[in-house]
């Protein structure tokens, strides 16, 4: 290239660079200036203080009919009101939301909800019983992850302000089910205009989900500003919210891995909270931070009860030997301050859990004696588990601890880690002798796990635990839980059932673990709720 | 001048003109352009065949992975309900035989439809259009910085062979190569964000700012184009740490190749003759050594660039950077077949195009290759 041409290129590049810098330095944008100064305002002129929620975003959609992931539940709860809800961390009884009151019929199957006439959607349209019928029927007919929970429910609208929900089986927990994010009520007119349907073939004909990922069609305290599940999801306050206005005008859910969340919270940020700190990540945090949590998950070993699949795990003495061999306190210690040795099955966040004094304990002499009685000898069995970190702990660490404890009693276990997809696929086939996984409740009532774990339930079926193989007294105790209409009776029945399950079931519950909300020092009411939405961002304010 | 003439055949003041075997005759230039065009067209046609092969391979590999998309996308209770599982499979076409699934995919692909993601519900094309620019925004500055640093240090190490500077640079490169990328990313975050407080904690933009209007998908560029200087500086601030980490990793790879390529050229007679002629060292290095040594560097640099463009999963994960690496990771985690296929096609296309670019650059840097 001739020298003059080269000099020309250099000059052009220099001019371009200078122009770029000039543009970057000299331009202005009023909104950005206000944001930088912390004085941004919403469209209606109200203060738009931003609350930042750090989380490893696990959300595929903001459609209540399809949502089931943890972050999705937090978001959908902020976007959609439900008939009833829970107040803060108290999950003992549903309280009014869109329904100002409800009554339960004596048969324990029929529930009548009276809608609050003040309730309006974000576009100002009143919430009617037709919207409720549409939303719940759509939820059922979409055949998504939450559909099995409402499968037995039918919904009627005798008048515009009354909704009748009927369960085909006795189910005193219907109001609790209807408080969950998946039961969020949609503006049916808006939904239909954008491809929504509640018809029986909604699983193939409904086209609403994509619309709902960027536009809220509910009556909740927030609306969607932007949605990017891999980066950030931004909510803005609903200017026409019919209830108490949220304290923060804007909430940014920021995708962030756990280590980063810990570093961020350790700097004591203002108006910020983290949702995924668990296990060892909770240790060493500054004491100025607020921590709120409750044991809402349980970690359980599942042993195949069908001798045709495994003669070892179907041997009751071998199972009892393993149960006695485990150091429950030691397993709990792996979860850091949030871990608790299991007493029964129900985690302590829910009514019906057994007292801590009944926590299981290691008894190696008994384990050795039972192993000898079983006649299994040193036959080994493979322990299948998902090779993931859950609740802040690598599940491989827990599996290795079980293996090592069992070894002390002479029980041979081989570890069999698998990718999560492979683990789920293998386990649902009902041919896995021995497996381990964390478990959460579908909705915040302990009775919800009873039917699943007992013969006839999905988990029991996968474990080969049939009615013929089950202990009659344990089955009767489970039936008593499911038929209880009074919550105090149900708690009592749950205690009896769990005490029987310890000795008469193919499950060994190891430990309970907590989800913990870690909030900056200036926030108030950033409390963990075991209701299903982790934290209610609309409740959070500043000191 | 023969077609096999080496640059050593003459010692010009401006070797770039004399090593051109065809000179600057218009007819020769036109012939070169035609042959280059033929070369590019031929390569692009080969690309179609390669991409077809990629779709077959990716499809078969995904089928070989144990697990069913319905198990990862439905709750355990829903998986036990045959009606729900059947509805899920029907919705995503998973109820059809594998050859039918593949042919349907191929038919849609030929019509420009890469399918719909089972995880995001969006078309794969729109997902790629969203995630790829974020990765490009990381990859380009990281590559430019890497080339500048590795060429500078690599040449210095070659010139100072077996002296302290050479040993230090080689040791540094070795340490860089042996350092796990995720570890370096976490340590950098700890030091620059937590300890020094001069870097952000990840993401592309501070939460107080709204992203710029989507024009190119690259926040820095879009902020400039829409006249939002504060957002530009904020986006640049967020870009700095992941770019520096990626740069340090890429430099570690490139520097050894640059050094070895330059050592080879430095040993050539025409370089010694240039020194003997009394040309300043900088002129010799820039005009004779650098240009000849770049051929090897372009190959490795091109592949490093393709690797950066294909997404760096761990770096994107640690810095919460919503690029193609994160998208690929989520697709794999959810057994999202259309997304996995889409990412596979994109990565294949990147490597094919980068290789094509490398071939073209060879011709530009070294006319002997163009002629042959």
Q: How far is CA B225 from CA A401, A438, B126, B215, in A?
A: 57, 49, 22, 8
Q: Is residue B317 domain-shared with residue B258, that is, in the same domain?
A: yes
In chain A, which residue's Cα lies nearest the Cα of B212? A32
Identify which of B67, B90, B211 has the shortest CB distance to residue A422. Answer: B67
Q: Is residue B196 domain-shared with residue B310, that is, in the same domain?
A: yes
pLDDT of residue A184: 97
Instruction: Give me the residues of B, 70-129, that contact A with CB < 8 A.
Output: 71-81, 83-84, 87-88, 90-91, 119-122
Q: Which CATH number is A294-515 given?
A: 3.10.105.10
Task: Calculate helix-pair angle for A364-374, A316-325, nearest 10 degrees.
Answer: 160
Q: What digits encode the pLDDT tens for the residues B230-261? A: 999 999 999 999 999 999 999 999 999 999 99
Residue-range definition of the domain harbouring residue B145: 128-333
State the average pLDDT over residues B295-303.
85
- Provide the mean pLDDT of chain A: 90
SS3 string, A380-446, reads: EEEEEEECCEECCEEHHHHHHHHHHHHHHCCCEEEEEEECHHHHHHHHHCCCCCEEEEEEECCCCCC
DSSP A335-364: TGGG-EE-SSSS-TTSTTPPPGGG-----H
User: In this structure, is residue B244 part of a structural domain?
Assistant: yes
Q: Helices (DSSP H) in A51-108: which residue ranges?
A: 70-79
User: In this structure, is residue B338 part of a structural domain?
Assistant: no
pLDDT of residue A21: 53
State the average pLDDT over residues B297-306.
88
Q: How many domains does chain B have?
A: 2
Instruction: Quote the CA–CA distance of B368 and A162 in Å, as a whole number.
Output: 85
Q: What digits encode the pLDDT tens for the residues B5-21? A: 334 333 344 444 334 44
- Provide the mean pLDDT of chain B: 85
- Chain B residues touching A60 at Cβ < 8 A: 73, 119-121
Position A190 pLDDT exceeds 90? yes
State the average pLDDT over residues A393-419.
95
Instruction: Quote the CA–CA distance of A482 and A451 in Å, as a whole number.
Output: 8
Please list, residue by residue across A27-44, b when 16 or more beta carbons sit within 10 angstroms of its beta carbon and e when fewer do. Answer: bebeebeebbeeebeeee
Report the 10 Å Cβ neighbour count for A284.
Answer: 8
Tokens of B143: 């590559």
Instruction: Quote the CA–CA distance of A195 and B94 in Å, as a whole number.
Output: 23
Position B164 pLDDT exceeds 60? yes
Q: Is residue B103 domain-shared with residue B148, that is, in the same domain?
A: no
pLDDT of residue B342: 92
Residue A154, strand partner residues = A166
Q: Is residue B167 domain-shared with residue B299, that is, in the same domain?
A: yes
Q: How far is CA B128 from CA A441, B48, B362, in A?
A: 36, 19, 30
**A35 at the B interface (CB within 8 A)?**
yes
Q: What digits encode the pLDDT tens for the residues B351-366? A: 888 888 888 887 777 7
pLDDT of residue B15: 41
Sheet (strand A99-104) strand order: A99-104, A110-115, A162-167, A153-159
Report the 10 Å Cβ neighbour count for B82.
Answer: 8
Q: Is residue B161 domain-shared with residue B84, that is, in the same domain?
A: no
State the average pLDDT over residues B180-206.
94
Position B26 pLDDT exceeds 70? no
User: In this structure, is residue B54 part of a structural domain?
Assistant: yes
User: In this structure, is residue B232 part of a structural domain?
Assistant: yes
Quick check: A274 and A286 in contact, CB under 8 A? no
Q: Is residue B132 domain-shared with residue B47, that is, in the same domain?
A: no
User: In this structure, is residue B363 part of a structural domain?
Assistant: no
Instruction: Quote the CA–CA distance of A417 and A399 in Å, as a whole number.
Output: 9
Q: Is residue A287 exposed (0-12), middle (13-18) or buried (19+ Cβ within 10 Å)? A: exposed
User: In this structure, is residue B275 part of a structural domain?
Assistant: yes
pLDDT of residue B43: 76
State the average pLDDT over residues A34-41.
64
Break chain A into its structural domains and give their ranges: 26-256, 294-515
User: In this structure, is residue B278 part of a structural domain?
Assistant: yes
Position B118 pLDDT exceeds 90? no
Tokens of A43: 């469209």
Instruction: Quote the CA–CA distance of B321 and A232 in Å, as a whole number.
Output: 10
The CATH number fitting domain A26-256, selected from 3.10.130.10, 3.40.50.1400, 3.50.50.60, 3.40.190.10: 3.40.190.10
Report the 10 Å Cβ neighbour count for B302.
Answer: 21
Q: Is residue B100 domain-shared with residue B164, that is, in the same domain?
A: no
Position B198 pLDDT exceeds 70? yes
State the average pLDDT over residues A272-285.
92
Q: Is residue B79 domain-shared with residue B139, that is, in the same domain?
A: no
Instruction: Quote the CA–CA distance of A359 and A341 in Å, as a whole number.
Output: 6
- CATH number of the domain to which B326 belongs: 1.10.3720.10
Quick check: A209 and A479 in contact, CB under 8 A? no
Instruction: Quote the CA–CA distance of A252 and B207 in Å, as a whole number.
Output: 7
Position A45 pLDDT exceeds 50? no
| β-strands A162-167, A222-227 pairing | unpaired
Question: Where on the phi/psi map is residue A381: left (φ > 0), alpha (ψ -120 to 50), or beta?
Answer: beta
User: In this structure, is residue B118 part of a structural domain?
Assistant: no
Report the 10 Å Cβ neighbour count for A178.
Answer: 30
pLDDT of residue B367: 67
Half-sphere exposure of A489 (CA within 13 A, CB side): 11
Instruction: Quote the CA–CA distance of A120 and A243 in Å, as a whole number.
Output: 9
Q: What digits encode the pLDDT tens for the residues A416-431? A: 999 888 898 888 878 9
Chain B interface test: which of A41, A145, A285, A384 (most B C-beta within 10 Å) = A145
Beta carbons of B91 and A204 less than 8 Å apart: yes
Predicted TM-score of the model (pTM) = 0.85
Q: Would you place residue B124 in the very low, low, confident or very high pLDDT band (cuts 50, 70, 90)? A: very high
- Chain B residues touching A209 at Cβ < 8 A: 121
Q: Give percent of chain B above pLDDT 70.
A: 89
Q: What digits encode the pLDDT tens for the residues A69-101? A: 889 999 999 999 999 999 999 998 999 999 999
Q: Is residue B185 domain-shared with residue B299, that is, in the same domain?
A: yes
Helix or strand holding residue A259 (H, E): helix A258-266
Position A438 pLDDT exceeds 60? yes
Position A14 pLDDT exceeds 90? no
Q: Is residue B92 domain-shared with residue B31, that is, in the same domain?
A: yes
Report the 10 Å Cβ neighbour count for A86.
Answer: 23
Instruction: Quote the CA–CA distance of A459 and A449 in Å, as a whole number.
Output: 9
| β-strands A250-255, A50-55 pairing | parallel
Instruction: Quote the CA–CA distance of B121 and B338 in Å, as a whole number.
Output: 11
State the average pLDDT over residues B23-52.
73
Report the gap between the CA of B164 and the closest CA in chain A (Å): 35
State the average pLDDT over residues B167-193.
93
């Amino acid at each position: 290239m001739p020298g003059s041409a080269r000099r020309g290129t250099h000059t052009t590049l220099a001019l371009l660079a200078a122009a770029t810098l000039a543009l970057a330095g000299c331009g202005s944008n009023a909104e950005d200036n206000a944001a930088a100064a912390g004085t941004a305002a919403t469209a209606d002129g109200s203060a738009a203080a931003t609350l930042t929620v750090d989380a490893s975003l696990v959300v595929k959609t903001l459609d209540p009919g399809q949502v089931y992931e943890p972050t999705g539940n937090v978001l959908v709860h902020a976007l959609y009101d439900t008939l009833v809800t829970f107040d803060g961390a108290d999950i003992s009884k549903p309280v009014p939301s869109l329904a100002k009151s409800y009554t339960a019929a004596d048969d324990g199957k029929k529930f009548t909800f009276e809608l609050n006439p003040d309730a309006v959607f974000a576009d100002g349209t009143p919430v009617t019983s037709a919207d409720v019928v549409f939303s719940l029927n759509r939820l059922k007919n979409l055949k998504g992850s939450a559909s099995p929970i409402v499968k037995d429910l039918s919904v009627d609208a005798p008048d515009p302000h009354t909704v009748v929900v009927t369960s085909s089986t006795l189910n005193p927990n219907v109001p609790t089910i209807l408080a969950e994010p998946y039961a969020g009520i949609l503006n049916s007119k808006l939904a239909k205009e954008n491809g929504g349907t509640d018809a029986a073939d909604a699983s193939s004909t409904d086209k609403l989900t994509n619309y709902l990922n960027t536009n809220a069609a509910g009556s909740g305290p927030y609306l969607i500003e932007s949605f990017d599940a891999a980066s950030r999801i931004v909510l803005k306050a609903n200017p026409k919210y019919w209830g108490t206005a949220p304290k923060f005008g804007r909430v940014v859910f920021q995708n962030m891995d756990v280590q980063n969340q810990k570093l961020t919270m350790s700097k004591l940020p203002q108006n910020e909270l983290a949702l995924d700190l668990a296990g060892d990540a909770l240790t060493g945090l500054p004491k100025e931070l607020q921590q709120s949590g409750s044991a809402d998950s349980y970690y359980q070993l599942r042993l195949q009860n069908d001798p045709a699949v495994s003669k070892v795990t179907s041997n009751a003495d071998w199972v009892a030997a393993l149960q006695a061999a485990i150091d429950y306190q030691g397993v709990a210690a792996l979860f850091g301050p949030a871990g608790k040795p299991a007493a029964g099955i129900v985690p302590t966040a829910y009514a019906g859990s057994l007292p801590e004094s009944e926590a299981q304990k290691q008894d190696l002499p008994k384990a050795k004696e039972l192993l000898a009685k079983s006649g299994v000898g040193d036959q080994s069995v493979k322990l299948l588990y998902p090779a993931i970190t859950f609740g802040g702990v690598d599940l491989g660490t827990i599996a290795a601890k079980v293996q090592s404890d069992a070894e002390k009693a002479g029980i041979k276990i081989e570890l069999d880690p698998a990718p999560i997809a492979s683990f789920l696929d293998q386990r649902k086939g009902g041919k896995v002798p021995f497996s381990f996984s964390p478990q959460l409740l579908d909705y915040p009532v302990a009775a919800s796990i009873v039917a699943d774990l007992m013969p006839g339930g999905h988990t029991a079926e996968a474990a080969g635990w049939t009615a013929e193989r089950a202990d009659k007294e344990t089955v009767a105790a489970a039936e008593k839980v499911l038929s209880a209409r009074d919550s105090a009776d149900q708690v009592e029945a749950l205690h009896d059932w769990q005490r029987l399950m310890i000795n008469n079931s193919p499950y060994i519950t190891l430990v309970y673990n907590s989800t913990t909300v870690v909030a900056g020092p200036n926030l108030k009411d950033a409390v963990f709720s075991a209701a299903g939405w982790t934290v209610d961002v609309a409740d959070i304010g500043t000191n | 001048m023969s077609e096999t003439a080496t640059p050593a055949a003459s010692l010009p003041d401006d070797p770039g003109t004399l090593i051109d075997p065809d000179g600057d005759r218009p007819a020769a230039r036109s012939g070169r352009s035609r042959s280059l065009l033929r070369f590019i067209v031929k390569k692009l046609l080969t690309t179609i065949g390669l991409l077809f092969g990629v779709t077959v391979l990716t499809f078969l590999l995904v089928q070989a992975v144990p697990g069913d998309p319905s198990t990862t996308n439905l709750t355990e209770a829903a998986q036990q309900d045959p009606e729900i599982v059947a509805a899920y499979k029907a919705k995503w076409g998973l109820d059809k035989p594998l050859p039918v699934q593949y042919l349907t995919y191929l038919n849609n692909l030929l019509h420009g439809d890469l399918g719909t993601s089972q995880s995001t519900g969006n078309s794969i094309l729109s997902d790629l259009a969203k995630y790829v620019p974020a990765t490009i925004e990381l990859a380009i500055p990281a590559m430019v910085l890497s080339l500048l640093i590795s060429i500078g240090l690599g040449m210095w190490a070659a010139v100072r062979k077996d002296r302290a500077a050479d040993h230090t640079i080689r040791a540094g490169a070795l340490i860089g190569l042996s350092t796990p990328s995720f570890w370096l990313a976490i340590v950098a975050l700890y030091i620059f964000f937590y300890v020094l407080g001069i870097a952000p904690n990840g993401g592309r933009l501070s939460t107080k700012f709204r992203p710029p209007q989507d024009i190119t998908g690259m926040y820095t560029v879009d902020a400039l184009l829409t006249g939002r200087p504060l957002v530009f500086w904020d986006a640049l601030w967020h870009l700095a740490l992941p770019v520096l980490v990626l740069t340090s990793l890429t430099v570690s790879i490139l520097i050894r190749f640059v050094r070895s390529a330059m050592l080879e050229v430095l040993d050539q007679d025409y370089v010694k003759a240039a020194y003997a002629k009394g040309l300043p060292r900088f002129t010799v290095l820039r005009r004779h050594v650098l240009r000849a040594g770049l051929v090897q560097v372009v190959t490795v640099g091109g592949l490093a660039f393709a690797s950066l463009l294909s997404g760096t999963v761990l770096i994107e994960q640690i810095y919460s950077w919503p690029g193609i690496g994160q998208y690929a990771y989520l697709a794999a985690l959810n057994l999202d077949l259309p997304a996995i296929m889409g990412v596979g096609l994109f990565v294949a296309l990147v490597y094919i195009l980068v290789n094509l670019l490398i071939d073209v650059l060879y011709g530009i840097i070294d006319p002997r290759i163009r002629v042959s």
